[in-house]
Amino acid sequence: MIITVHAKPNSEITRIRSWVDATTVVIDLHSQPINGKANAELINFLSKQLKIAKSQIIIKRGLGGRVKHVQIPNEVNLKLLQG
């Protein structure tokens, strides 16, 4: 499944800010968007929140931008992100 992530780097803390729709989420990231640090933090954050391995999360589109298409396994329950 593909989810759309609107990344907000340079935030105070890493957290889910809001949901736009069922598969689009806005996430604040503490890291700066330099040398892939924000992308690595996003993968790490999603891995912990969804309780899956980092290797199961792939940024398919948007590596250099703020809007990213992230592939996660189909069987993952997105409600884990909704708290």
Phi/psi of residue 17, nearest 5 degrees:
-80, -50
Q: Which amino acid is at 32?
A: Q
pTM: 0.93
Fold of 2-82: Conserved Hypothetical Protein Mth637; Chain: A; (3.30.1200)
Q: Tokens in use for 61?
A: 């589109």
**Please, which residues have CB within 8 angstroms of residue 21's CB and are 6 or more apart in sequence?**
none
Partner residues linked to 68 by β-bridges: 5
Tens-place pLDDT, residues 24-69: 999 999 999 999 999 999 999 999 999 999 999 999 999 999 999 9
Between 78 and 45, the more confident residue is 45
Query: Does the pLDDT at position 83 exceed 70?
Result: no
Sequence spans of domains, the chain: 2-82
